[in-house]
Amino acid sequence: MIPAAFPPRDEIARLAARALLEVEAVAFRPEDPFTLASGLPSPTYVDCRRLISHPRIRSVLMDFLAATVMRDAGMEAFTNVAGGETAGIPFAALVAERLALPMTYVRKKPKGYGRNARIEGLMGEGDRVLLVEDLTTDGGSKLSFVDAIRETGATCAHTAVIFSYGIFPETEDVLGGHGVALHSLCTWWDVLAEARASGAFATSTLADVEAFLEAPRAWQEERRAT
């Protein structure tokens, strides 16, 4: 069903952050940092995949994501919704259903046999594609998916995610320089605010997390050096 309600952005951000906390998709561990895919340390971790196991929360957030892209990009802006392998695939399917559009997905690399395809499903010349992913850190991982979409003759000028880190100033420059606009529901700042309001973590833990959010690169370099 196509969403017809467009809640205020700050309410979407608050409820999305609360949902991530409720399903325990968020972890804070400043004393024993996580290692990100980049190899850099982080006191924060978010696993949006947990959302697919919670039907009520999943449904609300997908309504929010569909409403966000319709409000920001246009109600007739897209003819195809593509999910990035693998985390983006279930969310792309759910958003495509809400927008009443075909769904495809993009492999990280050609599968190595058969058609050797990166795009699964029907996509081609003239399609206007929305790339859906679970989250973005600095935006860099989206570029390969966007390029694969464009190689079909389709256009891809928008990507939508549930969660954007919101702490790396280069994110929008990376995506914008590639001709892609970013749409997201919430950031670490929204999660931090909701965590404080709910008392979900110790005050000292949240203070350590805030120090990271204020200067993430400096925080990472300091701990990588040690």
Question: Per the domain annotation, does 222 fall within a domain?
Answer: no
Between 138 and 17, the more confident residue is: 17
Q: Of 143, 128, 135, 145, which Cα lies nearest the Cα of 184? A: 135
Residue 212: which CATH number?
A: 3.40.50.2020
Q: In the predicted model, is pLDDT for residue 226 greater than 60?
A: no
Cα–Cα distance, 142 to 106 (Å, whole number) = 11
The length of the chain in residues reads 226
Entry pTM: 0.94
Please give the average per-residue pLDDT across 18-33, as a whole number. Answer: 96
Question: Per the domain annotation, does 194 fall within a domain?
Answer: yes
Contacts of 90 (CB under 8 A, 6+ apart): 52, 83
Q: Which two tokens stand for residue 37?
A: 């895919």
Question: Per the domain annotation, does 128 fall within a domain?
Answer: yes
Strands 119-120 and 103-106: antiparallel
- How confident is the model over 75-88, as pLDDT tens digits? 999 999 999 999 99
Cα–Cα distance, 183 to 133 (Å, whole number) = 10
Question: Per the domain annotation, does 193 fall within a domain?
Answer: yes
**Which range of residues forms the domain containing residue 205?**
9-217
- How confident is the model over 184-215, as pLDDT tens digits? 999 999 999 999 999 989 999 999 999 999 99
Q: What is the DSSP code (8-state) at residue 79?
A: S
Question: Per the domain annotation, does 197 fall within a domain?
Answer: yes
| Number of domains the chain contains | 1
Question: Per the domain annotation, does 150 fall within a domain?
Answer: yes
Question: Per the domain annotation, does 113 fall within a domain?
Answer: yes
Give the pLDDT score at 114. Answer: 59
Question: Per the domain annotation, does 224 fall within a domain?
Answer: no
Work out the burial of residue 11: count CB atoms within 10 Å of its CB; fewer than 13 is exposed, 13-18 middle, 19 or more buried: exposed
